[in-house]
A and B are shown apart, each in its own frame.
Chain A
Amino acid sequence: MPIFQDNRELLQRLNWLRIFFVLVFICLFAQLWSLTVLDFDYYQNLAERNRVRILPQIAPRGLIHDREGRVLVDNVYGFNLLLFRDELSDLDATLQFLMDGLDITEEVLRERLKAAGSYSIYQPVVIKENLSMEETAYLLARQSEHPEVEILKQPRRIYRYGSLAAHVAGYVGEISPAQLQEPVFRESKAGDIVGQFGVERTYNQTLTGRDGRRRVQVDSRGRILHDLEQIDPIRGEDLTLTLDLDLQATAENLLGEDAGAVIAFDARSGEILVMASRPAFDPNQFAIRISKKEWDQLLENPDHPLQNRTVQNTFSPGSTFKMILALAGLERGIIDTETTVTCNGSVDLYGHRFHCWKEGGHGEVTLREAIQHSCNTYFYLLGQKLGLQEIAHFARQLGLGVPVGIDLLGEASGLVPSEEWKRQVRGEPWYPGETISLAIGQGPILVTPIQLARAMGIIATGRSPRLHLLKGDFQQGSTAGRELLSPAFAPENLQTIRDAMWSVVNEGGTGQGARLANYQVAGKTGTAQTISLSTREELSESELESLEDNAWFVGFAPRDNPEIIVAVIVQRGGSGGSSAAPIAREIFRLYHAKYKSRGPAGLEVASQAKQEKKL
């Protein structure tokens, strides 16, 4: 050890060290102050978010029953994969993780995320619905590495009978950005599943429940430590439809592979019993978020399975229009039951030869015979006498040209022509010859099956009850068409037409296919061209003739005090008598078998309600 040490310099340097230490500590104090005091609010907010996760508790939608309480639309619970984007650190790693273990492509994943772009970052995105056992196992095993995903049990729609009554039930789907702006969806938020079609859409507000939520405390790995708050979801209200699934199934089965539509309603209450449209779709396809590709495939299907042909598509009424001509003629006094016309198979009017469908002609026919055998000549001449204005007037009186106001969206108006319409739309005058075509339901006249059924109803009963799908109250439906129809037609005129229509079915007329031994069916057949009016304009005569006709049958039963109205259209079905009438017959038969002993339940309820009001 050295004897002498001069350590004064060392002591001086120790002092530097002391100063350095103190300075560094001052920095630490300052940063501590900055974090805990200056930025306290910021960090507290972050800390709050750190430990609370809100798990959406989706409310099941209300169930949809048929008139007999059978469940048509139900809910099932499945396991869905949710992604919490606010906890996402490496998107690509997460996507890879999901693609490795789930049956899902990157394209679909990106699509989902893109669709979720509009909603709050704290709202989880449903990545995949209805996980399989394998997928669930894969996710659960790796959940601690991926706190950003979570499996939640969530309800989804199940349509018990697949495509049965699909157009009435409709389907659900994720709300679109445009829909978010609509007032009817004001209680929905981005990402919600809402009714998109059918009664799911019309009565969406009723069916939609109130979502609950679960606020949970989670650790940094996303593991739930305990519940902070639990608001249970409330299921939406159930709906009972006026449909009879037995009748509905019969109608759909009989249409089979043919494109076409069947509508049937209670003549007294306006309750829709059957609303069948073919081809159909399976709404279960929509119950999980379908990809854009699947959606496009459905949209581009040339048979348009998504369209509800009973209300959304318009057709030429063909010979069924003759009942309207007949009513107009009787009401205006142009014809009576004794008036006769001689049919030679054709008639020359305005320099053009108009043919009856029967080449040799029907000979001398009364109105009853003209309807019974659907004689064109009789109605050519009647139409000529009535003129466009009167024909159009009575068509409108019977509810053509305006929506019937059924509680579904997207109902078509159809078309009742006028001179003005011709001038405005076509830029040319109405030619007198067109009136002659119009008289047998060809030319620019278009109806939806439901419109034609209602017109039938008015002729059958003289009344026009509001047509509806929801049992009981139907406050949410459209009001269009309500002002229609307190039609005042002479009862004896209506009776004349009804008798004639009875003979169509029961006395060897064109509608024999609808005849039943124990139930007095009356009706009218029709055949009409398949194509739309505008297309028809573009096609030449020869092309038109090559197209097969649509087959119509509209009718009611029984002959006296009618109970049920049925309209059937089979597209490209040839003549109405051969393809449409037998379908109507089965509807009548089944209706009679089911309801002859007991009146339709709806009627009883309605009369009971009235009595209660009086008391």
Chain B
Amino acid sequence: MSTEVKTKESLFSKKNQQLLKDPFNDNNPITVQVLGICSALAITVKLEPAIVMSLSVMFVLAAGNVIISLIRNLIPNRIRIIVQLVVVASLVILVDQFLKAFAYDVSKQLSVFVGLIITNCIIMGRFEAFALGNGPWKAFLDGIGNSIGYGVILIAVAFVRELLGSGQLLGAQIIPLSWYIDMDKGTGFYANNGFFLFPPMALIVVGMIIWAQRAKNTKLIEEN
């Protein structure tokens, strides 16, 4: 028996901290692994759904990672993807049902996006790549870390899009109304950029974030 397996690792050892921090920058699920782009396009028109989506993904990913990690030695290899899918789908349905019963207003805001969590490639990706081969605590940290990495980008994109597209943040007017061009009175100099309300602009914003991140973090730049 090898002894190193037996040595107790502290809950927040360097390696475990790395699990939380890595997805934030060096291994960000959206900007580096380019996963979960679909939801980054769909729900970043406004800040509020982006925040609620990030929290829901955090719950589903952390809980799912722990469940998969707990049963990882029992899952038959040939149907492991199906098992993962069942775990995500049931968690998402449970979240949806509980929201509808106890937080009806939040559930209304999320509407179809709750269901979209199932299709979020980050979740299946982390189950397959991490939870299947690691213990529950590590899997939990990995889930939290990745969902934070995902949420940060989502919120950043939504911030830019809501501010420039609607002149608001969280539904509150930020750009002073007196700045807006008023044809009748001939005043004002500002207009919302409607292009920011369309999905392509989310891709462009994500692209700019990737650009800025790579300019700062030279580790990410490929050799050639």
Determine if chain A interacts with chain B: no
Q: Using a CB–CB distance below 8 Å, which chain A residues touch chain B?
A: none
